Structure 1
């Protein structure tokens, strides 16, 4: 089958017009082959063979703004709208393979996966625009375990690609500034200039590659979160903190104090559109703005949360964002101030927390303590986030899955009782203080006599 896959791949690259001569039945069978190979990992265990068929599927998708020349005509994509097997299984299969390609076992897998996911990003964006396919993608989100892993990969890819792209843009700007000083640049030894130019070109290619990928993934997060049923899954404990910290971090990069260092010449050349990126991020904030757990996760991000970044984003987007969306975004920013203040008050109420109530990884007070195979106790969201990328016990590196976690109900009840006692004590203390203040005020009033 690998020979068949390679033959079809080379055909799509070198002689795509051949597909135009295929009859309807042949094209139908071609799609059946694609659905079977992408969606049957039990039978097709070679991830690179499955990846080849995702590239063939990309060939059937109408061309995007980047002008993909391998797609010949819309006739080829019509079969996707009439093939019952594809309409039912293809989109979820691609989403599952998006996760599966993470674990190829190849020494080049860390880089290969981005090439394959680049193809899948475009496929899934097209599917989202087709109602039948969109509903199967929403259905995939209902399988919480699978979708959480899918979103975890999106977050990982977003952070890595943004870091890679922006770090190269910083280097590119530095070289551009040096080259503008012609006198200093011309004094460099020819060999050194040649090496710098070569490195500069490599960094330009690197920046283009990862910025394009980052644009695609952030756009996917945007349109997925626009669907209320899907957005709910993002609010699960193992995802909401990661989403909040990622969005906060991106805001810091794009509108924070050091954002001016990213102003390179010919930014479009690197697919770097800061305002468009900021719009995607703000739209995702808006989609999650109605969820209390998201606002709390945003303000608890001690590393990147900054009210000034939210305010600057509002100013930058005011000329291009619809007024209704700006209003929602501004309301969320205002709400974050209130949530932050309330969270600080709640933390102060608790005072010193017994060490046994603290997560052994994060040192935060636990909500849902579970015991690991190693015997250590951590909060369920903490270990679930870890297991999304590494199914091992972090304390002894032995195999560990979600099913192996043992709830510690007795400890959870004691933590809840501790919270109730501290809150009651805080309320009583506040009431006593108010009564004392009122009594002092009454005693200070002058006595009225006839």
Structure 2
């Protein structure tokens, strides 16, 4: 009985005459030890098969088959106790030799580790039980390290073999590979030393793009729809797909990726839980990768020299899953995250070249040197800050790549159209053009595949919800760091953290703000805030964005409001610009004109509704200076976003309207800075926009009339191209300027109605009047025909609505005496006939306004005209005023002369006050200046008064 069982299991015999029909048994060699097949000769029989049988080409497969047959025989003979010892010995031998096969490659006659691996990955289910037993035997024999150092480097070499592709396109290969990893790490003894495998992370270090190929976990961590081969297979080709077809591909890949991520997390989780050493090594591995891939956020990085989007986003998502338990809505474990994390030694995150939130490198390094903590951070802290790092460089690098691909696709499509047009007119170059066209179309197909793969990834709401939930939890923690007592969210934070310095622009107060910035927050790397802001702004443009209808969104809005309200927190104005851009997306009405998705938070959250308005007004002012070479234009985008938010808050939430009116009445110095900036912008934007429209009009006429180009024939094409370029530039600039101006004009309309007194102060009233008069002349004056362009809506230009808005401001301020005088004394542009033309257009021709509106406008214009005549008579009286009585900038007689402390120049208080709203320096020597430093010149004021009185007396 024993002999027959052994023959069946090992497929061998010592008696060739008794081979049953249908069996293909191996006849054992003729020697003394193998004359009988029994328990005593089992080892020799098996050894013969492995080391001497020339026909046995797959020794490991043979061992596995023996193991499988042994288990089958066990089941068939489960009641035969006499065979129990036989089966036990067979298992011992087969499993033992299976372990030896991986430890000593030359042991078997045809031993080949990669061959073994190939068979396992091809039919994993058939090998799983045997492999599990081998692992358990290695644990018993304390040879796990040997097994791992043999098995996994061979596995790595196998998946990286030449011309082999390891990705989600080959489901059998990658699924079985993941199953092998899962099987191994499910044994705690294996997971505990898994990171000690020689090629887990080579000691010598790797280049940024080598980790996914040359480390044990690298290949499986690239399993993603973002893998370029997966993207090309699913989205490649020039085939036009319908939206529904593309969405089906998205959904299929999203479902598959979800399962892959769960399996990858299982593997990493087992390693993390294996031992202190394996946890430390795993975090170190991820740290090395991200430290060498900072260029993923660079503008002109070479993508193929960096880790792939697939690799880094998968690690990001795995880390986010690790972070979930200590960032849940209860925040019971939030105190486990070390607020002073960056003070610790042995950090896995390289901060050597990281910009800090509000300190320089030297100051930060000095602080860390003085407050160094020798205690190693806990895993929760390591994991949290590493996740923030990956959010910026991993997922953040991916979304930046997406933003670069979009314009590249547009350029490729334009280039293809140009080549096609050229080919139609140049048959002699047909072959060259055809080759060029094929190359361009191939590149376009490649770019579109990447674009669609990213769209599929970022439109996966369930996945992105995990990312944004992490951001919301991180926002709460960052507020906890900002809180002087580090008690948030269990105790509410009070803002502002330092007293406001009204009248002093925060951007000119940088040193003061830096000195008073909260510690340790000011020393944190900038990416801890930049990563969440970049991601949230980007993902907000997806229709199924996780930001929408998210109950945790208020945590992020609270952080954003705090950053804007406390200028000492972050020194980078571009980050704040992105933040207000995101808030404007959240404030804009939805498609059904219902309030934007952030509006309920703006209204109901106490921290937000107490601080948001002041924060927006303050940032509107200080964004004037961004520190970059393009700062003059940077401010307009931020102010456009702020204007959107302010308009929606003012019109939809009564508390903000009350706050704005309160600020204008009780904090005039602060509020007037805001009005002055609005006026500066509107003046420039309207002038720029109308000027660009005039260019569009004139260049458009030239383009439509080729005879107007007076150039030699050979240069006609060049002139036409130059004109076309100028025309497109004028169109872009007109669209930008007119769009921004329209939004600013809306604020002027609504604010001048409810708080007119703020617009008639001495600092701004003359400039406001001049701006209104000048643009009224542009819209209805003799040159208004120059503004006629085709399809004005594409430039956000509606001349009739703009005219109505201008006239509405006149009417809103008609009862303010100072405004009437300012309009009247604008000798350059004021003309009552312009008002009559405006009334004719708005009333009789278009019916845009009521008779009451027309009457009010005419009454105002008549009053201003009368005032102009009276003031002209008065000016005649004072035309011989001494130069020392005249304001050196405005050339008008000073009413309240003051002396500037350093230049000693006498100037009218209203003039220097208006100047300081835009520039905190003495206009005559550029030295720093604040209004409190000017010296009243009472003696000069008295002499001016006496001189004017004398003039009046002479007249009488």
**Is residue 703–residue 720 contact of structure 2 (8 Å, CA) maintained in 1?**
no
Name the residue aligned to 1:386: 915
Would the aligned equivalents of 1:350 and 1:423 in 2 still touch at CA under 8 Å? no
2:59 corresponds to 1:59:
no
Tell me which residue corresponds to 1:203.
730
- How far off is 1:108 after superposition? 2.0
- State the shift of 1:111 in Å: 1.8
Q: CA, structure 1 residues 406+44, in 2 after alignment: closer, same or farther (shift >3 Å)?
A: same
Give the 3 Å change call, closer, same or farther, for CA 292–21 of structure 1 in structure 2: closer
C-alpha distance in 1, partners of 2:951/2:810? 33
1:307 to 2:829 alignment: no
Give the drift of 1:347: 2.4
**Does 2:657 match 1:134?**
yes
Aligned position for 1:162: 686
Mapped contact 1:89–1:136 kept (Cα < 8 A)? no
- Counterparts of 1:431-450 in structure 2 under 5 Å? none
Shift of 1:189: 3.2
Cα distance per residue 1:376-433 (max 9 Å; x no partner): 1111111112111122212222222111111111221222222223223323xxxxxx
Aligned partners of 1:184, 1:223: CA distance in 2, in Å?
Answer: 46
Q: Is residue 692–residue 734 contact of structure 2 (8 Å, CA) maintained in 1?
A: yes
Give the conservation status (yes or no) of the 8 Å contact 2:921–2:928. yes
In the superposition, relative to structure 1, how do residues 117 and 260 fare at CA in structure 2: closer, same or farther (>3 Å)?
Answer: same
Deviations 1:207-258 (A, max 9, x none): 111101111111111111001xx21121111111111111111111111111
Partner of residue 148, structure 1: 672
* 1:158 CA displacement: 1.1
Q: Does 1:281 align with 2:806?
A: yes
- Return the offset for 1:14: 4.8
Is residue 106 from structure 1 mapped to residue 628 from structure 2 by the alignment?
yes
Is residue 846 of structure 2 the alignment partner of residue 323 of structure 1? no
Q: Cα 1:20–1:168, aligned 2, differ >3 Å: closer, same or farther?
A: closer
Q: Alpha-carbon deviation of 1:21? A: 5.8
Give me the TM-score of the superposition, normalised by structure 2: 0.42
Deviation at 1:363, TM superposition (A): 2.3
Rounded to whole Å, the distance in 1 between the matches of 2:910 and 2:626 is: 27
Does the Cα contact within 8 Å between 2:583 and 2:598 map onto a contact in 1?
A: no
Aligned pairs (5 A) from 1:48-87: 48-63=574-589, 74-87=596-609
Residues 238, 59 of structure 1: alpha-carbon distance in 2 compared, 3 angstrom cutoff:
same
Partner of 1:40: 566
Q: Which residue of 2 aligns with 1:218?
A: 745
Q: CA deviation at 1:114?
A: 1.4
What is the aligned partner in structure 2 of residue 3 from structure 1? 531
Specify whether residues 194 and 425 from structure 1 end up closer, same or farther in structure 2 by C-alpha distance, changes over 3 A only: closer
Contact (CA 8 Å) 2:626, 2:634: kept in 1 or not?
Answer: no
Instruction: After superposition, give the CA deviation of every residue in 1:326-380 in whole Å (9 maximum; x if it has no partner).
Output: 1111111111221112112222334522332222222211100000121111111
Structure-2 residue corresponding to 1:445: none
Once residues 597 and 811 of structure 2 are traced to their aligned partners in structure 1, the CA distance between those partners, rounded to angstroms, is: 38
Residue 13 of structure 1 and its aligned partner are, at CA, apart by 3.3
Greater helix share, 1 or 2? 1
Is contact 1:80-1:87 (8 Å) kept?
Answer: yes
Separation of aligned partners in 1, 2:639 and 2:660: 16
Sort the Cα spacing of 1:369 and 1:197 in 2 relative to 1 into closer, same or farther, 3 A.
Answer: same
SS in 1 for 2:608: helix
Aligned residue in 1 for 2:945: 416
Deviation of the 1:314 alpha carbon:
1.7
- Matches for 1:167-246 after TM superposition, within 5 Å: 167-181=691-705, 189-227=716-754, 230-246=755-771
State the distance in 2 between where 1:215 and 1:351 align.
40
Q: Structure 1 residues 21 and 172, CA, compared in 2 at 3 Å: closer, same or farther?
A: closer
Distance 1:267 1:7 in 2: 35
Report the Cα offset of residue 194 of structure 1.
3.2
**Does the 8 Å contact 1:212/1:271 carry over to 2?**
yes
Once residues 347 and 182 of structure 1 are traced to their aligned partners in structure 2, the CA distance between those partners, rounded to angstroms, is 52
Contact 2:581–2:638 under 8 Å retained in 1: yes
Change (3 A) 1:74 1:103: closer
Once the two structures are superposed, residues 4-43 of structure 1 have per-residue CA deviations (whole angstroms, 9 ceiling, x without a partner) of 22232233235752123633xx122122112111111022
Query: 1:272-329, CA deviations, whole angstroms, 9 ceiling, x for partnerless residues?
Result: 1111111111010111111121111112112211222122112112132122221111
Identify the residue that residue 816 of structure 2 maps to in structure 1.
291
1:17, 1:72 within 8 Å by CA — same for their partners in 2? no
Matched, 1:28 2:554: yes
- Which whole-Å CA distance do the structure 1 matches of 2:878 and 2:584 have between them? 55
Superposed CA offset, 1:82-107 (max 9, x none): 11222221122111111111111111
Note if 1:367 corresponds to 2:898. no
Q: Which runs of 5+ in 2 are unaligned?
A: 1-528
Give aligned pairs, total.
419
The answer to whether residue 878 in structure 2 is matched with residue 354 in structure 1 is no
Give the whole-Å Cα distance in 1 for the aligned partners of 2:542 and 2:853: 46
CA distance in 1, matches of 2:742, 2:611: 27
Cα shift at 1:75: 5.0
Conserved? CA contact 2:587–2:597, under 8 Å: no
Q: CA 1:174–1:350 in 2, change beyond 3 Å: closer, same or farther? A: closer
TM-score, with normalisation over the residues of structure 1? 0.87
Residues of 1 paired with 2:644 and 2:811: CA distance? 24
Q: Is the 8 A contact 1:244 1:301 kept in 2?
A: yes
Contact 1:16–1:72 under 8 Å retained in 2: no
| Structure 1: distance between partners of 2:869 and 2:706 | 53
**Equivalent-residue separation in structure 2 for 1:176 and 1:49 (angstroms):** 39
Range with bigger deviation, 92-101 or 77-86: 77-86
Preserved contact between residue 549 and residue 597 of structure 2 (Cα < 8 Å): no
Q: Aligned to 1:334, which of 841, 862, 876?
A: 862
Q: Which residue of 2 aligns with 1:439?
A: none
> Matched residue of 2:541: which SS?
helix
Match of 1:13 among 515, 518, 541: 541
Q: 1:33 to 1:370 in 2, by over 3 A?
A: same
Number of the residue aligned with 1:436: none
Q: Which stretch of the first structure deviates more once superposed, 388-397 or 344-353?
A: 344-353
Instruction: Provide the rounded CA distance (Å) in 1 between the counterparts of 2:607 and 2:952.
Output: 57
* Contact 1:371/1:408, CA 8 A, preserved across alignment: yes
**Distance of aligned partners of 1:300 and 1:22 in 2 relative to their CA distance in 1, 3 Å threshold:** same
Q: Give ranges in structure 1 of 5+ residues lacking alignment.
A: 428-450
Candidates 264, 270, 274, aligned match of 2:795 = 270
